[in-house]
Structure 1
Amino acid sequence: MTNKELVTKAVTAVFGQRDLSALDLYFDSNYIQHNPALPNGTAALKQVIPTLPEDFKYEVGTVTENEDVVMVHGRFSNWHGKNYIAVDIFKVKDGKLVEHWDVLQEEVKPENTATGNAMFPIS
């Protein structure tokens, strides 16, 4: 399995299917988190995922890989009442996600943008 396939499988399982066992399967036990709102490790995700509303949805868009770094352009629908577009950046080592950075932006509907262009997906 490529790193791109691994990360896609991991984020789809955790966020798309809310499979908490995927955190132990795909994420390293010493997972390093660079999102300033979350601590290192997966314990916080194990607490947050079950609290998401029933209509929460995660969609994977474009995924790109450069050796041990994988970037996922995705959409989080109804995350704390809002939709967000994110680029999640993962470092992979020995078949596990070992490090994470993200860039998150509230989604703006195309009719409310200066260009009329959608933020997701990338076409």
Structure 2
Amino acid sequence: MDSTQSSKNKATVLKAFDTLFNLRDYSTAETFWSPGYVQHSAYIAQGRKGLFELTKGLPSSARYENALAVADGDFVILHGRFSGHGLPRNWIVADIVRLRDGVLVEHWDVIQDEVTEAESKSGLPMFGESFAVA
């Protein structure tokens, strides 16, 4: 697969995440996620329905921010932050998404609670260039 297609896949996944998690535009989000979407996350019920139900249950303050997106063929990996979700800590997440024909068909994730500067053994933030305000 050429770099042009990888770039298109990266842009598609970024747009899909913004549409679902920030804009909460479910009808448009349906065009990004396959009806047969496969979910490997321990935190999200199976399929597109499980993902959308999770999102509908989040407070309106919930947001997704992206710091990095890398594409290799049909796979896109995002490094992002989920905040305002009602839990005590922001989540720093590596999302791995597989696309087929420009549609999100499969997902895996690795999720960590974001630490404060005092808790960071490295002294560096987990996301971006500064620590989140607690």
2:110 matched to which residue of 1?
103
CA pair 30-91 structure 1, distance change in 2 beyond 3 A: same
CA pair 122-11 structure 1, distance change in 2 beyond 3 A: farther
Distance (Å, rounded) in 1 between the aligned partners of 2:95 and 2:84: 17
Distance (Å, rounded) in 2 between the aligned partners of 1:23 and 1:41: 13
> Segments of 4+ in structure 1 off by > 3 A?
none
Cα deviation, residue 32, structure 1: 0.6
Which has a greater percent of strand? 1
Select the residue among 26, 43, 53 that pairs with 1:47.
Answer: 53
Equivalent residue of 1:42, what SS?
A: helix
Q: Name which of structure 1's ranges 32-41 and 67-76 shifts more when overlaid on structure 2.
A: 32-41
Cα deviation, residue 50, structure 1: 2.3
Q: TM-score, normalised by structure 2?
A: 0.83
CA RMSD of aligned residues (A): 1.8
1:116 matched to which residue of 2?
123
Cα deviation, residue 16, structure 1: 1.7
* 1:10 counterpart = 2:16: yes
Cα deviation, residue 36, structure 1: 2.4
Q: Which amino acid aligns with 2:124?
A: N
Given that residues 41 and 107 in structure 2 are in contact (C-alpha distance below 8 angstroms), is that contact kept between their aligned partners in structure 1? yes
Distance (Å, rounded) in 2 between the aligned partners of 1:71 and 1:22: 22
CA pair 56-37 structure 1, distance change in 2 beyond 3 A: closer
Distance (Å, rounded) in 1 between the aligned partners of 2:23 and 2:104: 18
Given that residues 59 and 76 in structure 1 are in contact (C-alpha distance below 8 angstroms), is that contact kept between their aligned partners in structure 2? yes
CA pair 98-75 structure 1, distance change in 2 beyond 3 A: same
1:26 matched to which residue of 2?
32
Distance (Å, rounded) in 2 between the aligned partners of 1:17 and 1:121: 22
Given that residues 75 and 120 in structure 1 are in contact (C-alpha distance below 8 angstroms), is that contact kept between their aligned partners in structure 2? yes
Q: How many residues align?
A: 123
Given that residues 62 and 122 in structure 1 are in contact (C-alpha distance below 8 angstroms), is that contact kept between their aligned partners in structure 2? no
Structure 2: runs of 5 or more not aligned: 1-6
